[in-house]
Structure 1
Amino acid sequence: MATLSYNPSKLRNHKPQSHKPISSLSKPIKIPFSSSQFSTLYPSKFSKLRLNSVSESSVSLPTNQPPLTSASENNFNEDEEVDDDPTSEVSYLDSETDPENIIEWELDFCSRPILDIRGKKVWELVVCDGTLSLQFTKKDSIFQVANADNYNKGLQELGIKPVPSKRCLSLLLWLEERYETVYMRHPGFQVGAKPLLALDNPFPMDLPENLIGEKWAFVQLPFSAVQEEVSSLEERFAFGASLDLDLLGIEIDDKTLIPGIAVASSRAKPLAAWMNGLEVCSLEADLAKASLVLSVGISTRYVYATYKKSVATTQEAEAWEEAKKTCGGLHFLAIQENLDSDDCVGFWLLLDLPPPPV
């Protein structure tokens, strides 16, 4: 497996040590990972939900529902035990957060594994920001297509552009937490209900020509180098995306090697710009078909690259996937002008996160 060497004093000095065509791979090596270096915890803000109770005879908010209120305005004490009624709604804004500074929302509108008292399927709108400083829910039993159209129309009227994406990690983790603390405890909970995201996993399509690179390699970087690469994105005006690892509760030793994919192209900047227009979610090695699969948006999957299947290449792909699992799904995509380049034109920090059970 190719590696990225790293000079702690200068980020630009780390670079791939191999140069290979997109249809071939280097000799695999064993990756020395330790599972004890990684742990995942729920964000502490999950304990700060501001709950507004509603009648047990209804799963919808009253029409005169008050606007979002901060914890300080309601004399909310974080040390006090919050209302744990699973039929309650959430309307919370952190008292230290200026709502004018929240420029991106993470939103999900979908059916939940619960029925209302009339036996009708319950749909729920869940909204938060990337730091969970804003949290809001609203349940409904009206036909979902009409509501989805209304929400889209409302967003358009407000000048808000919805972007389908699975990079809403705060939202996904919150939904996972709500499944255990809210939906499973709801009197109308349906045991065995299947999550929609898990069902929507189509076969990968051919990669558009404008996203095709010229060469690629399985690579790895020390976690400290990954952090510096991400922190320099804005300084260098490079293309890419980061993740809030502190919020996600991810703790990794600085020396731990993070697996990634390095792609080289003589048109690296246009390639990175096109890639930046996608909501890049994750990369995975399909061992059976000797290929890499790129997931973007909600359910779009592309055959990102292929390689000649052999014992050696299969072992390398297996080692890369095993390294990714050991890091809790953390990996990256780097785009360079060539695989010996000192700099990355684009860098995306990615995370394999199982879909929430709703």
Structure 2
Amino acid sequence: MATLSFNSTQIKSPSLQSHKPFSKSHFSTKPNNVPFLFPSKTHPQLHHFKPNSISESSVSVPEEAFDDAEEDDPTSELSYLDSETDPSSVTEWELDFCSRPILDIRGKKIWELVVCDSSLSLQYTKYFPNNVINSVTLKDAMETISEDLGVPLPEKVRFFRSQMQTIITKSCKELGIKPVPSKRCLSLLLWLEERYETIYLRHPGFQKGSKPLLALDNPFPMELPENLFGEKWAFVQLPFSAIREEISSLDERFVFGAGLDLDLLGIEVDDNTLIPGLAVASSRAKPLAAWMNGLEVCSVEADTSRGCLILSVGISTRYVYATYKKTPTTTSEAEAWEAAKKACGGLHFLAIQEDLDSDDCVGFWLLLDLPPPPV
């Protein structure tokens, strides 16, 4: 059984140095003087981003990760549950239902259902002809997964294609499942990338140069809703060891946010690696973090052409999160922040605080900005 595996991210990490932030956003909500509810921690303070603090690096997939996959029949289907996994613990699925760059004997594109959980303990694939693509087919297929693998139907199903929202939502609701449109289907996205290289390219019906039928949306960013406004922001960075500690204590401290299990994703990061992030300060940090917590936060992007930061949530929603005055200095720092994010394989974070100089976070999200899958 092939598993996702990535090379370690090798990034040189010089000693942390403070860097005066240029970033003062156009946030304009009125201060509400929300009291801070949590005691101080021993975590290091967020250090202002130093543009030259991360060297060139990359995250790539080693050939040996796919040794087993190359023995697979590319026309076969997969129905797998890890024998050591408690079926009742698989409560959330990640799902893709889309055409593939593969033609059947009629010369029509084959569709495929791909389902997994975040740890890839559950893996299921099934091909379909293009003339049976509807909510009934998907509903029946999800019931089949549950019956064949002996797992209960999930509480939630995450999916990342907006074009399939109607079919997936209808199927889920008929089964009493909560559909969650979200690009935080990271295990699924990485698995699709792997399947493209190890399965689809080797399929006898593969069509070279075929473009995805349902490309991911990348809409023009909208104005930020008032309830998501902060007051100040800055590019910052933290060593990965501190980020792990922050994520592990989210539940203990009742802090809003979400982590990523990089071990399960097969992504290795050295403890001393400096991870770039965005710190947002607000006197109403607690309610701001609460609102953000319901948005399926995906990524933050520095758009140097527009002089702004873009917040991506859900599957196709993008907001102008903050703006800055374009100068050679600000453009250089924004470009360096994006380069640092790329050097970390897309890994970055969003922290919400009461003050940019605080040691504590009221909300903390570890994010992974992945390119769209090739299918």
Under TM normalisation by the shorter chain, which class is it?
Answer: 0.7 to 0.9
Instruction: Give the CA deviation at 1:338.
Output: 1.4
The corresponding residue for 1:332 is 349
Which position in structure 2 is the counterpart of 1:98?
A: 86
Q: 1:226 to 1:197 in 2, by over 3 A?
A: farther
Query: What is the deviation of 1:221?
Result: 0.8
Q: Which residue of 2 aligns with 1:61?
A: none
Amino acid at match of 2:96: D
Contact 1:40 1:249 in 2 (8 A): no
Matched pairs, number: 310
CA distance in 1, matches of 2:56, 2:214: 28
Residue identity in the other structure for 1:329: G
1:209-224 to structure 2, matched below 5 A, reads 209-224=226-241
Say yes or no: does 1:341 pair with 2:334.
Answer: no
* Paired residues for 1:115-126 under 5 Å: 115-126=103-114
Matches within 5 A, 1:238-253: 238-253=255-270
Which of 97, 100, 109 is the equivalent residue of 1:112?
Answer: 100
Distance 1:155 1:2 in 2: 49
Q: What corresponds to 1:295 in structure 2?
A: 312
1:315 shift after superposition: 1.1
Mapping 1:11-160, distance limit 5 Å:
11-16=41-46, 29-35=50-56, 39-41=59-61, 84-141=72-129, 142-145=131-134, 147=137, 151-160=168-177
How far, CA to CA, are the matches of 2:43 and 2:199 in structure 1? 49
Assess if the C-alpha contact under 8 Å between 1:2 and 1:218 holds in 2: no
Counterpart check, 1:257 vs 2:287: no
* 1:53-77: CA deviation from partner (whole Å, max 9, x where unpaired): xxxxxxxxxxxxxxxxxxxxxxxxx
1:274 pairs with 2:262: no
In 2, Cα distance between equivalents of 1:196 and 1:238: 40
Distance 1:137 1:17 in 2: 44
Q: Write the distance in 2 (CA, Å) between the matches of 1:111 and 1:30.
A: 42
Secondary structure (helix, strand or coil) at the match of 1:176 reads: helix
Contact 1:2 1:220 in 2 (8 A): no
- Verify the 8 A CA contact 1:183 1:189 in the aligned structure 2: yes
Give the partner amino acid of 2:104. D
The structure-2 alpha-carbon separation of the partners of 1:47 and 1:246, relative to structure 1 and needing over 3 Å to count, comes to farther
Q: Deviations over 1:108-159 (max 9, x none)?
A: 1111111111112211111000110100111112253555666533321332
- Residue 39 of structure 1 and its aligned partner are, at CA, apart by 4.4
Q: 1:195 aligns with which of 196, 203, 212?
A: 212
User: Structure 1, unaligned stretches of length 5 or more?
Assistant: 4-9, 19-27, 50-80
CA distance in 1, matches of 2:65, 2:47: 42
| Partner amino acid, structure 2, of 1:330 | L
Contact 2:258 2:365 in 1 (8 A): yes
Q: Equivalent of 2:197, from 180, 183, 204? A: 180
Cα RMSD (Å) of the superposition? 2.5
Distance 2:67 2:84 in 1: 16
Q: CA deviation at 1:288?
A: 0.7
* Separation in 2, partners of 1:40, 1:344: 32
Aligned residues of 1:165 and 1:296 also touching (Cα < 8 A)? yes
Between stretches 182-191 and 280-289, larger displacement belongs to 182-191
8 Å Cα contact 1:41-1:250 kept in structure 2: no
Change (3 A) 1:48 1:151: farther
**Residue in 1 that maps onto 2:367:** 350
Give 1:13 deviation, angstroms. 4.7
SS of 1:179's equivalent in the other structure is helix
The AA in structure 1 aligned to 2:265 is L
- The change in CA–CA distance for 1:238 and 1:143 in structure 2 (over 3 A counts) is same
- Moved beyond 6 Å, runs of 4+: 42-49
User: CA 1:13/1:101 → structure 2, altered by over 3 Å: closer, same or farther?
Assistant: closer
Q: CA deviation at 1:90?
A: 0.6
Pair 1:93–1:16, CA change in 2 (3 A): closer
For structure 2, list consecutive stretches of 5 or more residues without a partner in the other structure. 1-18, 22-39, 138-163
Report the residue type matching 2:80 in the other structure: Y
